[in-house]
Amino acid sequence: MKRARIPQILPLALLASAAVWAAPTADQRSGAAPVAVSGMFSVTFNIEPVSSAVAGGLIECKAKIAPRLSAFENLSGDVAPVASAAGVASPVAAGPAGSSVNCSVEIPFAWLVNDRGNGIALSYEIDAVSGSGVAALRTQQPIGMAYPVAGGTANVNLHVRF
């Protein structure tokens, strides 16, 4: 190669490599940039106490959401955004088992995702708290769900038995 062409090719090669390093937000596998998603998940737990240990106590509910990541994204070690909320229901009646109570939480979120189609993972914890501490505990993780329409609210109703 003639030495005269090297000065012409070198700036082009440097420009191309600089363009690759200057755009780290683009997903290099698909070429797509991250997408902003936002909205709210309104989660209502219908709690049916079937144990006498729960009677007379308070129900505390907690829920959190995070983007569901692909296997490749899980390997990257990046920290996924998480949104969470907590709520408290009225005391559980000290009567027959089966008198249910509701506990609701609203979880607003706004973050960037590589693929909106992956949806979110919902996890929750419900505690029945009596005078002596936690009498019963229920957890579930993760429940896959789709994102609501942009800026909208997804209403989620879950039935839980203690």
Query: Per-residue pLDDT tens for 50-104?
Result: 777 677 778 889 999 999 876 655 555 555 678 888 888 877 766 555 578 889 9
Q: What is the pLDDT of residue 161?
A: 82
Where does 49-99 show beta strands of DSSP type E?
A: 58-67, 83-88
Q: What is the pLDDT of residue 94?
A: 61
| Contact present, 58 and 133 (Cβ < 8 Å) | no
Q: Token digits for 123?
A: 């996890």
**Placement of tokens 């109703």 in the chain:** 157
- Tens digits of per-residue pLDDT, 9-58? 655 555 555 444 444 444 444 556 888 999 999 999 998 877 776 777 78
What pairs with residue 62 in β-bridges?
A: 86, 125
> 57 burial class (0-12, 13-18, 19+ CB within 10 angstroms)?
buried
Q: Token digits for 133?
A: 């501490």
State if pTM tops 0.75. Answer: no
